[in-house]
Structure 1
Amino acid sequence: MLSPVPLLPPGYRSRPTTTGDIPAIHALVTDCERLLYGRSRSDAGAIAADLTRPGLVPESDTVVVHDPAGRLVARAWVDRRSEVDVHPEHRGRGLGSALLDWTLARARQAGTDRVVQTVPDADTEAVALLRAHGYAPLVTAWLLEFAMSAEPEVPDLPAGITVRPFAAADGPAAHVLVQDAFDEWQERRQGYEEWAAHTVRRPTFAPQRSALAFAGDHLVGAALALDDPGTDEGYLEQVAVRRDHRGRGIARLLLRHSFRAFHRTGLRSCTLWTHSDTGALDLYLRVGMTVRHSSTVFRKDLGV
């Protein structure tokens, strides 16, 4: 069965995404972020990792759009989750609506029962477009910031806990820890290869700024850090503590270790994302983080 094709405005053409498109997609996403936030924070590694999601077939589940001059000006992909980006200079021409229609048609063809898409709350046009297509809010996500004018203080270690930076052999144990911790709210467990592509194998992964907590020889907590090229801040991709060691201050300890490590490289802020299903917002606010901006994860049930 042939995959659906986006019904684009005259002069635009589409094709499936290839790995060679990653730099141009990164530039597109960066321009979209700068329009909304005045800065960019995406990296090419995250885009490459999305294209290797288990079950995603680039030939049928992805699309890039070129304008009449041959410039890549929009992209979309769908595999339970979906993303649609249209360059600011090409908005208002029907590209976003055409690509959103394409994601839904492809999801239905694949037998997917629902699709979710995350949209910044500041992007009011995109929010209105999703609502017009029958999407409903699912969860709220926040980008939190920790400002570091002075070197952050690190609390004392809880009894029996040691902390050290991430080492090359820690990947499998960190994967199990994160998946166990995230089981409470994530839709599915990620296999090691998928998880690693988004974290420890990202070109921007920062092992020396990623803090791990141990009880004896057992990993009980992790804060996995990324460098944020082109910015003056660090980023924490994932923070997790084993359930039987929560309430002991381990998360706060790991956060402060990573904050301090970033500060010692000359950075003066560190950010991370969390969302309402995790229940972690209050923890981050108590540590001294503040909300920079928010997004909403929207869901559309397809009745498949």
Structure 2
Amino acid sequence: MSDSPLLPLLPLPAGYRSRPATTADVPEIHRLVAACEHRLHGRATTDADGIAADLGQPGLDLACDTVLVHDRGGQPAGWAWVRGRRSTVDVHPDHRGRGLGRSLLARAEARARQRGGDRLAQTVPDGDRAAVALLGSSGYSPLVTEWLLEFAMPDEPAVPEPPEGVTVRPFRPADAHAVHRLAEDAFDEWQQRRQSYEEWARHTVERATFEPAASPIAFAGGQMVGAVLSLNGPGRDEGYVERVAVRHDHRNRGIARMLLREAFRTFHTRGMRTCTLWTHSDTGALSLYERIGMTVRRSSTVYSKELTPGRTEGEVVVDALRFPAVPPE
């Protein structure tokens, strides 16, 4: 047993209370996140099923890996989750400037250390100056730039013909495992680890907003060589592309461009006049999307911090929460 001292107590400001989040909290967490997004971007950009997907991540222990803060009136004021090397912290705009963000950030770091983590990363919109300043003062450094791109569709988008020998059809449920393998193989060159099917599906084909009709799949010689997976965007007024993947030996043939245009056209026929997707600097795909007519709507940055070893036995006390230590993963 380690005899290192407990982490210092970081009490919540007066009038706040905290507890772990549960799946029943999805609607109110979504309201909290939507309020943050409205303040920053003028509209919500996250669906409730995106929150549900985060809370349903394999390996996430809701009792220990999440925290939800309420104000005196019982309204959600902030929340956080941590899993592996990634975490999210959100504080309602009406409750900023009171120390909640710093407390939740410290709680996330403590939990990551307790699980044996050596690094923690968070994604923050570049327009959120307070959050950027908090991470900077807490020892975080920029790691990756992310861009939200949009494609305006005042008219029905033209779709190029498939390359010779390539056929296209919409996603079918039986395609799910093959698309998972295709996507993980395509992303192996830059992602830190492969996602299990369960984890991947939770954020794609099993989401309530998944749109099979706007998720075209490409085949060549009877084998799957490309896929685009789409969701109905927040508020259902714009389409959203969640995944784009093309098999390595079929790249530079125009398959990604064709599949994206096919997804855009499907959304257009359903009355949507904009489609969006996220990409980041590690993929090197920004120029591809710009060549097909997409433009940057806004950007975010992934910040990372190396964690110094902390206590992993007994109890760690942070944010007026006590949670038992667990063996490192």
Q: TM-score range by the shorter chain?
A: over 0.9
CA deviation digits over 1:266-292, x for unaligned, max 9? 100100000000010000000000000
Match of 1:204 in 2: 209
Match of 2:38 among 34, 38, 42: 34
Q: Report 1:9-158 matches (<5 A).
A: 9-79=13-83, 80-158=85-163
TM-aligned CA distance change 1:208 to 1:96, over 3 Å: same
Return the offset for 1:242.
0.4
TM-aligned CA distance change 1:283 to 1:4, over 3 Å: farther
CA deviation digits over 1:76-106, x for unaligned, max 9? 0111200000100010111001101111111
Q: What is the SS of the residue equivalent to 2:81?
A: strand
Query: Does the 8 Å CA contact 1:6/1:99 hold for their aligned counterparts?
Result: no
Name the TM-score, length of structure 2 as normaliser.
Answer: 0.90
Distance (whole Å) between structure 2 residues aligned to residue 77 and residue 102 of structure 1: 9
Q: Report 1:214-225 matches (<5 A).
A: 214-225=219-230
Q: Percent identity?
A: 64
Compute the RMSD of aligned alpha carbons. 1.5
Q: Identify the structure with bigger relative contact order (alpha carbons < 8 Å, sequence gap 6+).
A: 2
TM-aligned CA distance change 1:3 to 1:230, over 3 Å: farther
Distance (whole Å) between structure 1 residues aligned to residue 304 and residue 72 of structure 2: 33
For residue 105 of structure 1, what is the amino acid of its counterpart? Answer: A
Match of 1:280 in 2: 285
TM-aligned CA distance change 1:163 to 1:303, over 3 Å: same
Query: Does the 8 Å CA contact 1:234/1:267 hold for their aligned counterparts?
Result: yes
Query: Does the 8 Å CA contact 2:58/2:198 hold for their aligned counterparts?
Result: no
For residue 134 of structure 2, what is the amino acid of its counterpart? Answer: L
Match of 2:187 in 1: 182
Query: Does the 8 Å CA contact 1:4/1:106 hold for their aligned counterparts?
Result: no
Distance (whole Å) between structure 2 residues aligned to residue 32 and residue 294 of structure 1: 16
Query: Does the 8 Å CA contact 1:4/1:102 hold for their aligned counterparts?
Result: no
CA deviation digits over 1:95-146, x for unaligned, max 9? 0011011111111111101011000000011000001000000000000000
For residue 19 of structure 1, what is the amino acid of its counterpart? Answer: T
Query: Does the 8 Å CA contact 1:225/1:237 hold for their aligned counterparts?
Result: yes
The answer for unaligned runs of 5 or more in structure 1 is none
Return the offset for 1:185.
1.1
TM-aligned CA distance change 1:187 to 1:57, over 3 Å: same
Return the offset for 1:229.
4.2
Q: Give the total of aligned pairs.
A: 304
Query: Does the 8 Å CA contact 1:36/1:123 hold for their aligned counterparts?
Result: yes
Task: Kindly name which structure, 1 or 2, has the bigger radius of gyration based on alpha carbons.
Answer: 2
Q: What is the SS of the residue equivalent to 1:20?
A: helix
Q: What is the SS of the residue equivalent to 2:235?
A: coil
Distance (whole Å) between structure 2 residues aligned to residue 60 and residue 98 of structure 1: 16
Return the offset for 1:303.
3.9
Return the offset for 1:54.
2.5
Name the TM-score, length of structure 1 as normaliser.
Answer: 0.97
Return the offset for 1:184.
1.1
Distance (whole Å) between structure 1 residues aligned to residue 17 and residue 153 of structure 2: 46
Return the offset for 1:5.
7.5
Deviates more, 1:180-189 or 1:235-244: 180-189
Quick check: 1:254 aligned with 2:263? no
Query: Does the 8 Å CA contact 2:44/2:234 hold for their aligned counterparts?
Result: no
Q: What is the SS of the residue equivalent to 1:223?
A: strand
TM-aligned CA distance change 1:5 to 1:267, over 3 Å: farther
Match of 2:12 in 1: 8
Distance (whole Å) between structure 2 residues aligned to residue 4 and residue 54 of structure 1: 30
